[in-house]
Amino acid sequence: MTLTTEASRADAARRLFPGVLIAGTVALAAKFLSEHYGAPVMLMALLLGMAFAFLTEEPTSRCAPGIEFVSKGILRLGVALLGLGITVQQVIALGGSVVAITLTGVAATIGTGLLLSRAVGRRHRFGVLTGGAVAICGASAALAISSVLPNHPEKERDTVFTVIAVTTLSTVAMIAYPILAGALGLSDREAGVFLGATIHDVAQVVGAGYSISEEAGDTATIVKLLRVALLVPVVIAISMAFATRQPGAPARLPVPLFVLGFAALVLIGSTGAVPAWVSEAVLELSRWCLIAAIAALGMKTSLKKLAEVGPAAIGVLVGLTVILAALCLALIAGFGI
């Protein structure tokens, strides 16, 4: 029995290796381009991956099984490991007003995503995907939400489109929002809350915040991490909303294992028992998993299919970004933080 199990595992490893290797190689190339030319690493991984889409076009491709594994299994591992970067103490330190602003922004953006998606003739799945990506943490949220949505012909195309759009908009916001905060006369704390509650990706939040001041950078980072922590309840809610049960099958709570892992790591990190070097190593591994996963997702998507999304979908994401920024500015003024 043991020999049979070991043989099957070895066979599975051989079957997955070519695809895992190519996804890892593309991730390395994307990281190199990001570090040397300042391009967003997620966007580079996605675009480079799309250049290798021919590897998955043939059903008999040796790379296809490994690419599929990375785009799903490694993706979920990367999202789960993100939990170690967030602690309960960080959330409490923000104060009730900041938490209320963040929660309101997330809920309103997802709800607006559903409304805008319906207005342009798209299915509610697209609204959940785009709204969640803008509301929570950009590309990482898009990947996590996509993994619990029901399979449909446009799923991977919509996910790739959302990742490209939120990454681009996040980069624009990183440059424009600090200028806007200065023009509006926001204090460093107010600017930090605004940046952390509105910019899509963590890296761009950090870049924008510390371009203003250390206080703004620290505040923006913690607010952003609160939004990342909301990935747990949002993914659980989406998973439950889209759950399907076969007739006669027992009812069960459709909570993905990677979401439970994320929550567990948040609690473990909050105890203070994890050494700083361990947390840093785990978060670095998480980043690599997500880069490889998005490269694999790009390999499963063709430019022709991506072009079918249409300008209305772009309008949805731009609209959600503008609405979230306007709402957060109004709430900051209203709460007087």
pLDDT in tens, 237-266: 888 887 754 444 444 445 667 778 888 898
pLDDT, average across residues 298-326: 82
CA distance 99 to 329: 14
Is residue 227 scored above 60 in pLDDT?
yes
Evaluate whether residue 182 is within a structural domain.
yes
Evaluate whether residue 74 is within a structural domain.
yes
Quote the percentage of the chain above a pLDDT of 90. Answer: 28
Evaluate whether residue 130 is within a structural domain.
yes
pLDDT, average across residues 207-232: 85
Contacts of residue 116, Cβ cutoff 8 Å, sequence gap at least 6: 127, 315, 316, 319, 320
pLDDT, average across residues 3-13: 70
Predicted confidence at residue 329, as pLDDT, reads 95
Confidence of residue 101 (pLDDT cuts 50, 70, 90): very high
Evaluate whether residue 248 is within a structural domain.
no
Is residue 306 scored above 70 in pLDDT?
no
Predicted confidence at residue 324, as pLDDT, reads 96
Predicted confidence at residue 132, as pLDDT, reads 93
Predicted confidence at residue 7, as pLDDT, reads 63
Predicted confidence at residue 3, as pLDDT, reads 52
CA distance 181 to 313: 28
Torsion from C-alpha of 46, 52, 56, 62, nearest 10 degrees: -120
Predicted confidence at residue 210, as pLDDT, reads 84
Evaluate whether residue 48 is within a structural domain.
yes
Predicted confidence at residue 4, as pLDDT, reads 61
Evaluate whether residue 270 is within a structural domain.
yes
Is residue 195 scored above 80 in pLDDT?
yes
Confidence of residue 44 (pLDDT cuts 50, 70, 90): confident
Nearest to 137 by CA among 202, 83, 234: 202
Quote the percentage of the chain above a pLDDT of 70. Answer: 91
Is residue 115 scored above 60 in pLDDT?
yes
Predicted confidence at residue 72, as pLDDT, reads 80
Angle between helix 124-135 and 138-148 (nearest 10): 150
Is residue 220 scored above 60 in pLDDT?
yes
Contacts of residue 264, Cβ cutoff 8 Å, sequence gap at least 6: 83
| Long-range contacts (CB closer than 8 Å, 24 or more residues apart) made by 5-13 | none
Contacts of residue 14, Cβ cutoff 8 Å, sequence gap at least 6: none
Residues spanned by the domain of 184: 18-32+39-242+253-335
Q: Among the ranges 154-158, 237-241, 316-320, which has the highest mean pLDDT value?
A: 316-320
Predicted confidence at residue 222, as pLDDT, reads 85
Mean of all residue pLDDT scores within the chain:
84
Evaluate whether residue 69 is within a structural domain.
yes
Confidence of residue 144 (pLDDT cuts 50, 70, 90): confident
Distance of CA 250 to the CA centre of its chain: 31
Evaluate whether residue 128 is within a structural domain.
yes
Predicted confidence at residue 87, as pLDDT, reads 84
Confidence of residue 183 (pLDDT cuts 50, 70, 90): very high
Check residues 39 and 226 and name the one with the higher pLDDT. Answer: 226
Domains in the chain, number: 1
